[in-house]
Each structure stands twice: as structure tokens, then as C-alpha cells.
Amino acid sequence: MEGSIKEILISREEIAERVKVLGEKISRDYFDKKLMVIGILKGSFIFMADLVREITRPLEIDFMLLSSYGNSLQSSGQVNILKDLGQSIRGKEVMIVEDIIDTGLTLKWLTDTLLLREPSSLRTCTLLDKPSRRIVEITPDYNGFIIPDSFVVGYGLDYSERYRNLSDIVIVEP
């Protein structure tokens, strides 16, 4: 199961420009607050690394490793925490960073789960949004690009664990 690359959907230059704008907006919105940024592995690792360097406010980072899709192309709706946070988020200004929101099942489950830990605030930031695939009603607070219902890889996103290291976001044909 490899898939073949069809075309570039979003170039590395477009990504960099948009990530900078997101970082500026987040810096403005949290100008008087200390942020805790939580990257959701694995898909967000490159976006997270670029985004936090565009945020000019003091921040802490942590990661969670979730698995919802496994190696299939469809979300199962069953989310598992494979690695949890290393600390409490109680009373903190928390922002979840995800590579993509598709059905919304992962982000909905995650926000519900983290809200139980009583952060002072909880926002979400996704690089990509595929609203046409949404099953549960949820809209990220910050989003980089709205994309069509194509299978995309690169910049952290995979197809059966391949292609995460591509610098552009590209469409693959399964």
C-alpha cells in the first residue's frame, strides 16, 4: 500500500506564509497569557515545530500520541492515547495543535477529554480542514487551509507511515 503522488496541493512556500500569519494571530490573541501548546503526534510534528517558532509569546510545549486511524484510511471513531501529557493542564491556557481535522471525531474526543482536566481555556489549531467529511460538529479556533476531500500527505501527514518527510502537501492516489 504505497499510493502514488498526483500533484502538489499546497507548496512549502504557501505553508510557511500561512503558518507565519497563524503565529502572529495567536501571539496577538495570547499577548498577556502564557500558553501551553500540545502537539498531537504523529501528524502534527512538523507543523508544531514551525508554528511555535512563529509565536512570539512565552509558551510551554507537550505532546500526546493518539491513534485513531491506525493504518486505515477511515477514522474508526475509536481514539486511543498511546502517550499522555507529562503534566497537569489544570488552570492553564491550552492550545491543541493538529495537522488535520477530517470527520472531527479525534478533535471532539480530545477536547472533551482535556476539558475534564480543567484547563483555564482550551483552543484548537489545525493546519488543514476538510469540512466536507465532518461527522461531528466542531470547528477549529485557528486553521491554515480548507482543503477538498482528497487524500493528502507530506509536512507530517502520512499514507501508511510514508511521506511524512515531504516539505509540500501533496495529493496521493491510493
The residues that are catalytic are 102
Please identify, using beta-carbon distances, which residue of 36 and 107 lies nearer to ligand PRP: 107
Q: Which residues contact 7 (CB under 8 A, 6 or more apart)?
A: 170, 171
Quick one: which of 55, 103, 142, 144 contacts ligand PRP (CB under 6 A)?
Answer: 103
Q: Which stretch in 17-25, 35-43, 83-91, 114-122 sits in contact with ligand PRP by CB under 6 A? A: 35-43
Asked if residue 96 binds ligand PRP (CB under 6 A), the reply is no
User: How many of the other CB atoms lie within 10 Å of CB of 112?
Assistant: 10
User: Under a CB-based contact definition with an 8 Å cutoff, are residues 76 and 69 in contact?
Assistant: yes
Asked if residue 42 binds ligand PRP (CB under 6 A), the reply is yes
Asked if residue 124 binds ligand PRP (CB under 6 A), the reply is no
Asked if residue 63 binds ligand PRP (CB under 6 A), the reply is no
Quick one: which of 50, 102, 129, 168 contacts ligand PRP (CB under 6 A)?
Answer: 102
The helix (H) or strand (E) run that includes residue 6 is strand 4-10
Torsion of CA 74, 152, 166, 18, to 10 degrees: -120
Asked if residue 40 binds ligand PRP (CB under 6 A), the reply is yes
CA 148 vs CA 72, 99, 151, 160, 164: distances in Å = 19, 15, 9, 20, 19
Work out whether strand 59-67 and strand 35-41 pair parallel, antiparallel, or are unpaired: parallel
Range 144-163, binding ligand PRP (CB under 6 A): 158
Binding site for ligand PRP (CB under 6 A): 40, 42-43, 66-69, 75, 98-107, 158
